Structure 1
Amino acid sequence: MSSADSQADAPQGAAAAPDTPADPAASGAAIDALYYGWLAGPATFDAPPETERQILDAVRQLAQNPSLAAELVPRIPELIPQLLRSLRDENVTTGELATQVAQDLVLVAEVLREANSAYYRPMTPIKTLDAAIMLLGQNGLRMLLARVAFRPVIRMHETGFARRAAPLVWNHSEKCAVAASLMAPGVTADIFEACLGGLMQDVGLIVAFRLADRVCPNGKVPASRDFGVELLARSRVLSEAIARHWEFPDNVAEAIARAGEADGAPLAQALAQGDRIAKLRLLIDAGKVEEDDALVMEGLNGFQRRCLGKLSSLE
């Protein structure tokens, strides 16, 4: 998504969003409970309280040892360093970017697929790399590279419940990254940093599910929604710890940890809004929430609801 696209879609300050939801914390907890129930699906059991405590304590302890936590997921690869350096240069031309992208055939296919997706809706099929990069813009290309780099981290080969959950969590990661980047201009946050936060915040959840697999039998997780809400909260703290260990920007790591706080910094606000919108999109698509549910109609303002609709075209 280009910076211009995001700026055009974004509300201009608070005056553009008079119907801001009154109690996002309460609706956020309700959405998290539904989201955990959807992730868990039928792979649940009535776990005794000590099992739930064991899992939650393991997640908390691992967040205090980020180097050990980071060993449980592959580090994000440095995807074409020359290209990433070029994307920081505002004077780089589309042709120069195309020449660098063309060195990786897999990346070429990803760029063309993205440009021709329903999200961008080109009038005619995009067939050349130059045209695709021009349509995506520099921010759109940076965000695509980030998604390509994160994909093997979230969707790695797993066993147990983590294997079942990984593609569902990755679906949320992609949608959250896009939604957070759309929310960023309206709260004066950086678009690309919002995308990075959206992709990074689920890494801790995958690690948490791996820990649960060590405790729970037969690839199942505790059925309790209260447990699920607490697990999601603690996994964000774990994501923050891993992000700092990977030397992510401090404000991105902090935004992940504070995304659920009403007084968070602009980046945390963008991430919290993107996370909520992405979860609702998944729950609506799964038939767990109706389009006219109060969580949508009262929990999101008008611009956020438009973003919710835009995510339906994200493949």
Structure 2
Amino acid sequence: MKKWLNRLIGGTDGGAPASTAPAPVADTAAAAPADTGVDLAWYRWLTASGEPDTGGGDGAVLLERLHALARDPAGAAGLVPRVPEVVPQLLHSLADEGASTADLARQVAQDVVLVAEVIREANSAYYRPITPVKNAEAAIVMLGENGLRMLLARIAFRPVINMPADRFVRHAIPRVWDQSVKCALAASLMAPGLSTGVFECYLAGLMQNLGLVIGLRLAGQLRSEGLLPGAPGFAPAFVPALLDASRQLSAAIALHWDFPRDVAEAIAAAGQPGAAHLAQALAQGDRIAKLRMLVDAHVLGENDALVSDGLSSFQRRCFGKLDGLEH
């Protein structure tokens, strides 16, 4: 896992690894979510929760488990699957300045699923080709190096985040993956205006929900053990605490996997006052993606104040670009 991630972010196998110390777990009581209203609405829709309750104490054991996993990132990383073998091979070629488009196309051709993914991406509404792209070589030219790296990252993360779950949260996991993809793209679009890395923002967007997926799966396990009666409470204080604990876990695993420290720190700090630019881009992308999903699910209207007044003109254009996004 660490080797292919080093290639993905432009490093080499022989370089000094980043620190594997877990990211500090934030005090969830002191955390300042970027937009609690959007988070509450999204979580309620995500989990099909009923009306808000006033307790939320039944979620305390889940928060404790997430904090414990954040202190043991190696153990937490063992809970998620590995990536397809063709991905690290391609990432190695992307790091080789002598590799031609034809070389990349030949490697893509080794995996028929990857061929379809590359061609579909090049023909997507995001790239809007004048004429349909019909082969892998033309698709790679359309995507460019950064676009191909983003696509490979998404392909690699899909089985990691969109993994099987029990019947309690089976419907929620695909929604989390959908939000991850939309957040990654939205954060990458926010990056230039905040003078931060486009690909780093994309990577942070894909990664930030990994802790939430683990948390949702863990909730099902705790229910089966009789330690978590029913669904975690939809108490206003519980939801931001759960999302924050999940981000801290994602950040700890990111450091364990040798992600750049600024990416891991952005995941941990997204939505907090005075955060670095990468964290700001991630928080903005996260909010835009959640609003897009709530509008698409008809939970909110296109003209809802959260969209019309809560987003800048550029953010609204990004919001529109996420419409119909396939992943």
Task: Tell whether the structures are fold-level matches, with TM greater than 0.5.
Answer: yes
Partner of 2:207: 200
Contact 1:86–1:92, Cα closer than 8 Å, also in 2: yes
Please tell me whether residue 299 in structure 1 is matched to residue 299 in structure 2.
no
Q: CA deviation at 1:49?
A: 4.2
Question: Could you tell me which residue of structure 2 aligns to residue 183 of structure 1?
Answer: 190
**Post-superposition CA distance 1:125-181 (Å, at most 9, x none):** 111212111111111111000000000011112213332211000000111111111
Question: Are positions 1:55 and 2:62 aligned together?
Answer: yes
Q: Which residue of 2 aligns with 1:12?
A: none
Note if contact 2:184-2:204 (Cα within 8 Å) is conserved in structure 1. Answer: yes
Residue 139 (1) aligns with residue 146 (2): yes
- Aligned-pair distance for 1:118? 2.4
SS at 2:237's partner residue?
helix
Mapped to 2, the partners of 1:44 and 1:314 lie a distance apart of 30
Q: In terms of mean alpha carbon deviation, does 164-173 or 292-301 score higher?
A: 292-301
The code of the aligned residue for 1:50 comes to G
Matched, 1:85 2:92: yes
Alignment of structure 1 residues 253-292 onto 2, 5 Å: 253-292=264-303
Q: Unpaired runs of 5+ in structure 2?
A: 1-31
> Equivalent residue of 1:182, what SS?
helix
Q: Which of the residues 32, 36, 42 maps onto 1:35?
A: 42
CA distance in 2 between partners of 1:176 and 1:47 (Å): 30
User: 1:167 and 1:279 mapped to 2: Cα distance?
Assistant: 14
Corresponding residue number in structure 2 for 1:167: 174
Equivalent residues of 1:40, 1:223 under 8 A apart:
no
What CA distance in whole angstroms lies between the structure 2 residues aligned with 1:203 and 1:303? Answer: 28
The aligned residue for residue 24 of structure 2 is: none
**Change beyond 3 A, Cα 1:26–1:219:** closer
Preserved CA contact (<8 Å) 2:49 2:234 = no
Within the candidate set 240, 243, 248, 1:229 is matched to 240
RMSD (Å) for aligned C-alpha atoms: 2.2
Structure-2 residue corresponding to 1:244:
255
Show CA shifts across 1:100-140 (max 9, x none).
21222211110011111222222221112121111111111
2:85, 2:275 → 1: CA distance?
30
1:192–1:292 Cα change, 3 Å: same
Deviation string, structure 1 residues 215-253 (Cα, Å, up to 9, x no partner): 336873323343222211110011001111112111111
Which secondary structure does the structure 2 equivalent of 1:223 belong to? coil
| 8 A Cα contact 1:27 1:295, kept in partner | no
Q: Which residue of 2 aligns with 1:20?
A: none
**Identity of matched residues, %:** 56
Deviations 1:254-276 (A, max 9, x none): 11001112322221111111111
Pairs aligned (count): 291
After TM superposition, give the deviation of residue 54 of structure 1 in Å. 1.5
Q: Which residue of 1 aligns with 2:9?
A: none
Per-residue CA distance 1:163-202 (angstroms, 9 max, x = gap): 2211000000111111111111111111111111001001
1:149 pairs with 2:160 = no
Aligned to 1:7: none
Q: Establish whether residue 120 from structure 1 lines up as the match of residue 127 from structure 2.
A: yes
Tell me, what secondary structure is at the counterpart of 1:289? Answer: coil
CA distance in 2 between partners of 1:44 and 1:312 (Å): 28
Alpha-carbon separation, structure 2, partners of 1:46 and 1:269: 31
C-alpha distance in 2, partners of 1:266/1:31?
A: 21
Matched AA of 1:198: G
Q: Which structure features the higher share of helix residues?
A: 1
Could you tell me how far apart the structure 2 residues matched to 1:27 and 1:296 are? 15
Counterpart Cα distance in 2 of 1:220 and 1:26? 22
Please tell me the residue identity of whatever aligns with 2:78: E
Kindly indicate whether residue 83 of structure 2 is the aligned counterpart of residue 72 of structure 1.
no
Q: Tell me by how many angstroms 1:297 deviates.
A: 2.0
- What is the CA–CA distance in structure 1 between the aligned matches of 2:56 and 2:147, rounded to whole Å? 45
Match of 1:11 in 2: none
Range 148-157 or range 158-167, more displaced: 158-167
